[in-house]
């Protein structure tokens, strides 16, 4: 029996492998940080035998409430990921599994690899009116890549979308993949009309270093990028620094920042009601966007989510708040679950890569519903 995590976004530490009925594991912390919750590893063992896995340090993870009613994801072929029954007991995350094959992968959510990211952005540059722009380099020397889709013509709205500031929230990049696929589909009238009205600036992965390293929440040096937007630095948060510089150059008329939430079993958005400049116009835009999103898919709802910020109390270091204030524009954090979307639950797959991609494609209908009203 052997466990390895020596691959893209791998994360696990073996405590004891003495018996398949008591495999003891820990999740490693993000580098230079105390955050941890993302795990991703492979076991090579004997098919047909019962295996009991215990993640011993689950209770000290960043969001222990995320383990409540959570089901571990597993895959034999690294394409189809299914859920297995999981318990959170006495501070440990415990799952039993009788694998059908000798090699099995387990992960917190369907991984989205750096290689797939490279495929996505380079395939995208083949689409009409699309430019792949390198904004700079990360601390591990990876490219910070931006896709500009559409030509900058006077009067067109600037729609910015970023994903995966928190690298363990891999659903965010599946969302962007689905969104891009639809946006590039010339037979889709929503996309065609949108391209007449807007230029899209899309950063499919805001944190490629953290993603490849198997981090939950931070970049190579332990910075939580979604708290760096007020004063990013080239030493600590070049990812935000470069994207913010480009935003200041292009302007922003609408912003979506795509995330996953560990605890809440619903898709939802977090808005700008707490920023200083929030007003009736901004509120009306938010309401119109949410109504359109809810009308297009039951995967979106606006009942469950974060508590609303009191006026003036939004953290200005958060991406969506900084953008909303700086550009006085519609600006949302989109959150998807690690568990399931309880308005349309799926016991076998839960929330997954495919649903994230469809949800990302569907948002374009909601963007079209508001695009003419953005200014
Ligand atoms: Zn997040």
Catalytic residues: 335
Q: Closest Cα partner for 80 from 107, 44, 102, 47?
A: 107
Taking a 5 Å cut-off on Cβ, the residues next to ion ligand 1 are 166, 169, 259
Same-domain status, 310 and 369: yes
**Structural domain harbouring 99:** 2-107
Separation of CA 62 and ligand 1 centre (Å): 12
Q: Are 183 and 315 in a shared domain?
A: yes
Q: Strands, DSSP E only, in the chain?
A: 2-4, 13-19, 22-26, 40-44, 51-55, 72-75, 82-84, 86-89, 92-97, 103-107, 130-137, 143-149, 157-163, 198-203, 254-261, 268-270, 330-337
d(Cα 345, Cα 331) in Å, to the nearest integer?
28
> Does 184 share its domain with 216?
yes
- Under the banding of pLDDT at 50, 70 and 90, the label for residue 173 is very high
What CATH number has the domain bearing residue 343?
A: 3.40.630.10
Residue 373 Cα to ligand 1 midpoint, Å, equals 28
Answer yes or no: do 257 and 207 share one domain. yes
**Residue 75 binned pLDDT confidence (cut-offs 50, 70, 90):** very high
Rounded distance from Cα 50 to ligand 1 centre (Å): 34
Query: Could you report the per-residue pLDDT of 225-264, keeping only the tens digit for each?
Result: 999 999 999 999 999 999 999 999 999 999 999 999 999 9
85 and 119, same domain (yes or no): no
Same domain, 121 and 103: no
Q: What is the mean pLDDT of residues 273-296?
A: 98
Ligand 1 centre and the CA of 363: distance in Å?
Answer: 18
| Domain stop point among 81, 107, 133 | 107
Q: If you measure from the C-alpha of residue 155 to the centroid of ligand 1, how many angstroms do you get, rounded to a whole number?
A: 32
Among 64, 89, 107, the domain boundary falls at 107
Q: pLDDT of 152-167, one tens digit each?
A: 999 999 999 999 999 9
How far apart are the C-alpha atoms of 106 and 55, rounded to whole Å? 12
pLDDT-based confidence at residue 115 (cuts at 50, 70, 90) = very high
- For residue range 330-364, list pLDDT tens digits in order: 999 999 999 999 999 999 999 999 999 999 999 99
Number of domains in the chain: 2
Cα 192 to ligand 1 centre (Å): 30
Q: Is the dihedral of CA 340, 342, 343, 348 positive or negative?
A: positive
- Phi/psi for 128 (5° steps) reads -60, 145
pLDDT above 90 covers a percentage of the chain that reads 100
- Do 182 and 102 lie in one domain? The reply is no
**What are the residues facing 3 on neighbouring strands?**
43
Domain boundary among 44, 76, 107: 107
Instruction: Please give the pLDDT value at position 335.
Output: 98
Note whether 293 and 182 are same-domain residues.
yes
184, 230, 166: which is closest to 36 by C-alpha? Answer: 166
**Is residue 257 domain-shared with residue 352, that is, in the same domain?**
yes
Same domain, 99 and 138: no
In the DSSP assignment, the letter for residue 2 is E
pLDDT of residue 153: 94
């Amino acid at each position: 029996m052997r466990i390895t995590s020596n691959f893209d976004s791998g994360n696990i530490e073996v405590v004891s492998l003495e018996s398949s009925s008591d495999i003891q594991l820990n999740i490693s912390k993000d580098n230079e940080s105390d955050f941890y919750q993302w795990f991703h590893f492979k076991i090579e063992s004997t098919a047909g035998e019962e295996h009991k896995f215990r993640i011993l340090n689950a209770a000290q993870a960043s969001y222990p409430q995320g383990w409540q009613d959570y089901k571990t994801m597993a895959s034999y072929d690294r394409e189809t990921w299914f859920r297995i029954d999981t318990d959170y007991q006495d501070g440990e995350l415990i799952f039993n599994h009788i694998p059908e094959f000798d090699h099995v992968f387990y992960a917190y959510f369907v991984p989205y690899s750096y290689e797939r990211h490279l495929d996505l952005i380079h395939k995208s540059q083949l689409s009409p009116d699309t430019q792949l722009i390198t904004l700079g380099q990360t601390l591990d020397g990876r490219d910070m890549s931006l896709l500009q889709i559409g030509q900058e013509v006077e009067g067109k709205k600037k729609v910015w979308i970023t994903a995966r500031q928190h690298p363990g929230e891999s659903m965010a990049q599946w969302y962007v993949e689905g969104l891009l696929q639809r946006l590039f589909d010339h037979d889709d009238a929503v996309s065609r009309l949108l391209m007449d009205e807007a230029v899209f600036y899309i950063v499919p992965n805001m944190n490629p270093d953290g993603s490849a390293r198997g981090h939950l929440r931070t970049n190579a040096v332990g910075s939580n990028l979604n708290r760096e937007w007020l004063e990013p630095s080239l030493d600590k948060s070049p990812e935000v620094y470069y994207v913010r510089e480009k935003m200041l150059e292009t302007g922003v008329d609408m912003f979506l920042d795509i995330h996953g939430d560990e605890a809440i079993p619903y898709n939802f958005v977090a808005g700008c009601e707490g920023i200083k400049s929030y007003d009736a116009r901004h509120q009306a835009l938010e309401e119109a966007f949410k109504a359109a999103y809810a009308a297009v898919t039951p995967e979106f709802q606006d009942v469950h989510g974060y508590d609303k910020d009191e006026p003036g109390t939004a953290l200005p270091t958060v991406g969506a708040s900084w953008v909303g204030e700086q550009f006085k524009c519609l600006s949302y954090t989109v959150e998807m679950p690690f568990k399931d979307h309880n308005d349309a639950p799926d016991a076998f797959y839960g929330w997954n890569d495919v649903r994230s991609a469809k949800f990302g494609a569907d948002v374009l209908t909601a963007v079209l519903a508001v695009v003419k009203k953005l200014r």
